[in-house]
Structure 1
């Protein structure tokens, strides 16, 4: 069994902590199964915003006549749009991994980590014999993954999540999105602005329910003009036939069906605590499976810390970076721990229209 001063699970914002601890001369193990950089770089904010900018450019051209500029779009090079984004993303991920492997006090373990005890982790991966690691201090920063509800027929029907939606090699002609949060809103804008016929099925009456109600209402009104919106509706079943996806929908007006080329599940996120087998550590989880921490980001098990999406306070990259700064301080200087200040956490939805807010909504105040 290999022992380190610190083990970091995940290569997103947790790398900020591993860098600080290694700079202090301590040994660090970084466990990562996929590309380095976490959700934001590989499957989230960075590639999605690069793609969404193309949709914004499209809308600018389409609306240019309002400013006396007459232009038209000749064609859309979908493969170039996707390739342009991910050539940069993949290069950045490789650079981050290379930098960690070259760091003097950091050792990278490329594989899946799972807890086998309170302070022991087994790592397995391609070309890697199972290796067991231990440390007095462990930081869990392994993020979340798309959550997919149990819809009859879905297990036999092709579908994608936001992970795959950003790398589609071909543009779908018709797209059905199940969900009504920021992921559904942003991806509907991306695909719709570039010419895909979009249908959104949402179980609530308003999109973006986390926003102030007035904002959600106005946003929903705009989307009802842009897309085929099925609100207060539930997907009752899905199937595929002759390359088409059929979704049976229960609406306030009765049962209806929607046919498309591609089905996108944008129904939320779930923490990776189950695949890590965090339960074997004795760390407390909340009802949704997220890790409970105190105001210093320490769990109920001494020496085990957590930050970022897997904690579930705010599923935002800048929040994870904020928590990483506090975690570094609190791990390196335990006598002078600081409580994380969440008092003004901003966020934005890069759709059309764009939405940004900070602080409490009227409903929360």
Structure 2
């Protein structure tokens, strides 16, 4: 006989975990099934480990550039195993905290380790780690299984020891020359990270520029910033074959605008996107629909086509960020436990690329504003004009803010020191529907990064054709 619960959650991600706790506190019995580590991608192979490694890389960069500040420095000696061990310690601490929260701090939650697949409406068979199985039924089911690395159709890839970010995070030896296939956010962060650790880095991107969702000036500035640190970019490159010789050297062959390129390196990171973990859930059994890429289709309340079944987080497509997954939890929690309905499609999309300096983005880009036919003016200010930038030596980048016909901010791209934090200031301004003149005339403590809020609007101009 199947075991019955009030709530079944498949996947221990940034939406599933807090939802399990919320239902348990409301007196519901909850079963949470996780196939891998508790905590989902953010804790285990996404945000936390990546940012921990970036912090170590930044320290190495500080040592390397210390002489610019009058401090004796030089080339840092990187103990890469110690860098990885520090990252592992942070992950293990986070995993322990998640497990304690789910199994000790909140009663009513049963954690099962195994793979779940639907066998009937709101019924799953869980193949448990260890070999046994268990059937579970629940009137409410939430799918929070996330995504995995997408692999391109590249001849020879199956025959070489390529890595995704998951494997790269556990590498014990520093690559001599890291080839990164993919010029998106992941490629930028890992590229700068390993360059600062001391690896040679080449980033290969099929598009004409990096970061496909950003304006051309942002992409160009990002590329120049990373090139200044010694990263090589090969853009407009169609990779078609990869091989490995007897000495262990990898060769990636690509058609480019300037002819055939054969790029050689010691390691290959494949960072060409993500695919949803939806293909082994038995969704056809219960009539849950997916799109052509396998993402689960949901309505504005995150409901699937099957009664009582919801999809949360990256598995339903759209922006793949931890904070969006967490907001999915809030949308469902409020609807089911607090009777407060809110659309999952009507919300801001802030995000940060954690290069150094960061890129913080909120609202519309110029490209998006043009496509939507929105009249706007743009204020653009080099970071070097801010007093704090000159004093700290962090002068790279620019701020760009879009203002509509009503003098309200509709978007911002902050490429510069503390870009994510400054972007959040603009997000608060947008939520409060303040006019830009209120920022221009606001008294701001000196010398802070925030003083740029006074000055970025000095020269608002119509967009160039």
In the superposition, the TM-score normalised over structure 2's length comes to: 0.76
Q: Relative to structure 1, is the Cα distance of residues 231 and 74 closer, same or farther in structure 2, using a 3 angstrom cutoff?
A: closer
* Residue-by-residue CA offset, 1:149-178 (whole Å, 9 max, x unaligned): 110011111100011111111111111110
Tell whether 2:144 aligns with 1:141: yes
In structure 1, the residue matched to 2:326 is 321
Tell whether 2:235 aligns with 1:234: no
In structure 2, the residue matched to 1:186 is 189
In structure 1, the residue matched to 2:373 is none
Instruction: Answer whether contact 2:8 2:32 (CA < 8 A) is retained.
Output: yes
Choose the corresponding residue for 1:116, options 95, 114, 119: 119
Tell whether 2:355 aligns with 1:354: no
Tell whether 2:255 aligns with 1:253: no
Instruction: Answer whether contact 1:349 1:355 (CA < 8 A) is retained.
Output: yes
Greater radius of gyration (CA): 2
Query: For residues 79-98 of structure 1, what are the structure 2 equivalents within 5 Å?
Result: 79-98=81-100
In structure 1, the residue matched to 2:44 is 42
Query: For residues 172-183 of structure 1, what are the structure 2 equivalents within 5 Å?
Result: 172-183=175-186
* Residue-by-residue CA offset, 1:224-243 (whole Å, 9 max, x unaligned): 44312111001110111121
Residues in 2 aligned to 1:9 and 1:276: alpha-carbon distance in whole angstroms:
10
In structure 2, the residue matched to 1:294 is 299
Residues in 1 aligned to 2:187 and 2:224: alpha-carbon distance in whole angstroms:
15
Q: Where does structure 1 lack aligned partners over 5 or more consecutive residues?
A: none
* Residue-by-residue CA offset, 1:157-215 (whole Å, 9 max, x unaligned): 11000111111111111111100100111000111111101111110121111122221
Instruction: Answer whether contact 1:203 1:232 (CA < 8 A) is retained.
Output: yes
Residues in 1 aligned to 2:97 and 2:9: alpha-carbon distance in whole angstroms:
18
Instruction: Answer whether contact 1:111 1:128 (CA < 8 A) is retained.
Output: no
How far the C-alpha of 1:360 sits from its partner, in A, is: 1.3
Instruction: Answer whether contact 1:35 1:94 (CA < 8 A) is retained.
Output: no
In structure 2, the residue matched to 1:304 is 309
- Corresponding residue SS for 2:5: strand
Instruction: Answer whether contact 2:13 2:38 (CA < 8 A) is retained.
Output: yes
Pairwise CA RMSD: 1.5
Which protein has greater RCO, CA pairs closer than 8 Å, 6+ apart?
1
Greater shift, 10-19 or 271-280, is seen at 271-280
Choose the corresponding residue for 2:200, options 189, 193, 197: 197
Aligned residues: 364
- Corresponding residue SS for 2:103: helix
Q: Where does structure 2 lack aligned partners over 5 or more consecutive residues?
A: 370-465
Greater shift, 231-240 or 286-295, is seen at 286-295
